[in-house]
């Protein structure tokens, strides 16, 4: 017998677990995160975005909302859709299209997380069991596909072919970036340029698109559209590089995953690229055994962290992130809406300071 999907609960019934409910919790968390101005700036818009998300995640197939809500309600900051709302405000946009585009961006991001956890074999996501651990790999992939479909339906409803093109391009680039990451995984010959190309594809492309569609639907000049895109691209690269550093130097209760997951999964990230480049032949042999051959032994993660620290690889990665952060700040120069510019500048500070 087909399982009957229960009605969606109200915010009060969900007690903070529904899609629209956690906004106050996110505000509370943000008060300690350094992005308070952005949260306050887009608060009313995010209420509408959350309502759209709640309405679009429903399906007569009960497993779809179950899997989707498991990740959507798991406490992410929803930074990318907030950036879409903020750059629309930065551009003086006064319509409604930015709300559906912001929801589309969040669905795209959630879909990539569901897919990534399958590809990486991840067990944890945002401090909870990954969806694949509860429902299986097949359900995670297919629900990710469902969310992508819903995202593109909303893009079409907005009626901006250019915004649709930007987000569709981003979806293709993200997939390319993930394939590139598979190609460089377990390959110690990966260069810094190779890895940064992966980052621009798998992470920064969605940041860039999320920021660019705001001025696009506001019909702002091409220079402003490009500036918003540059802001998002540089912010996204900085965001990922800090994540790379945190994987070896962060705290698990802050990461929402185990320290060293990248190491265990054989990922070649920038700290490893730097340590391998600067290391002795014995040290390089260690990296090849652990990451290329996948023969990780007891104590290897601790040894990896020692080598990264010996060669200043974590700090060098954070310094690179700060350089991309500076480029993101510089990209805001053409815009005159000072409160929004200041809020977006605070976002850069938040992203690059997460390791401290």
SS3 94: coil
**Which of 78, 87, 62, 86 lies closest to 113 in space, CA to CA?**
78
User: CA-CA distance, 88 to 206, in Å (whole number)?
Assistant: 16
pLDDT at position 355? 53
Low-confidence ranges of the chain (pLDDT < 50): 1-32, 253, 255, 356
CB 86 within 8 A of CB 38: yes
Output the pLDDT for position 257: 56
CA distance 178 to 213: 23
What pLDDT score was predicted for residue 212? 98
- Smallest Cα–Cα separation from 53: which of 26, 71, 31? 71
pTM: 0.89
Cα separations (Å) of 181 from 44, 106, 165? Answer: 37, 22, 24
Q: Are 195 and 285 in contact (CB under 8 A)?
A: no
pLDDT value of position 32? 44
Q: What is the pLDDT of residue 90?
A: 97
Per-residue model confidence (pLDDT) at position 21 = 34
Domains and CATH numbers, the chain: 11-352 (1.10.600.10)
């Amino acid at each position: 017998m087909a399982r009957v999907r229960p009605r969606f609960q109200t915010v009060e019934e969900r007690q903070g677990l529904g899609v629209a409910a956690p906004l106050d919790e996110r505000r509370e968390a943000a008060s300690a995160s350094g992005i308070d101005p952005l949260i306050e700036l887009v608060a009313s818009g995010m209420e509408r975005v959350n309502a759209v998300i709640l309405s679009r995640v429903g399906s007569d197939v009960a497993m779809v909302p179950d899997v989707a809500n498991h990740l959507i309600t798991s406490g992410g900051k929803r930074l990318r859709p907030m950036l879409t709302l903020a750059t629309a405000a930065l551009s003086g946009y006064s319509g409604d299209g930015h709300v559906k585009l912001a929801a589309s961006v969040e669905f795209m991001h959630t879909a990539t997380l569901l897919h990534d956890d399958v590809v990486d074999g991840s067990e944890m996501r945002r401090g909870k069991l990954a969806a694949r651990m509860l429902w299986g790999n097949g359900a995670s992939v297919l629900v990710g596909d469902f969310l992508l479909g819903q995202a593109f339906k909303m893009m079409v409803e907005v009626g901006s072919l250019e915004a649709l093109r930007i987000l569709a391009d981003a979806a293709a680039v993200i997939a390319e970036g993930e394939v590139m990451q598979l190609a460089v995984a377990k390959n110690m010959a990966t260069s810094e340029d190779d890895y940064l190309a992966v980052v621009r594809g798998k992470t920064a492309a969605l940041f860039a698109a999320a920021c660019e569609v705001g001025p696009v639907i506001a019909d702002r000049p091409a220079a402003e559209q490009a500036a918003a895109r540059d802001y998002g691209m540089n912010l996204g690269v900085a965001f990922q590089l800090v994540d790379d550093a945190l994987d070896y130097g962060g705290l698990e209760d802050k990461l929402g995953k185990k320290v060293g997951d990248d190491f265990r999964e054989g990922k070649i990230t920038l700290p490893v690229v730097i340590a391998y480049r600067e290391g002795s032949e014995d040290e390089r042999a260690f990296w090849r055994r652990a990451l290329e051959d996948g023969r990780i032994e007891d104590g290897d993660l601790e040894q990896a962290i020692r080598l990264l620290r010996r060669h200043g690889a974590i700090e060098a990665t954070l310094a690179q992130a700060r350089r991309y952060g500076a480029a993101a700040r510089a990209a805001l120069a053409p815009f005159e809406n000072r409160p929004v510019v200041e809020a977006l500048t605070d976002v850069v500070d938040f992203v690059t300071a997460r390791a401290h």
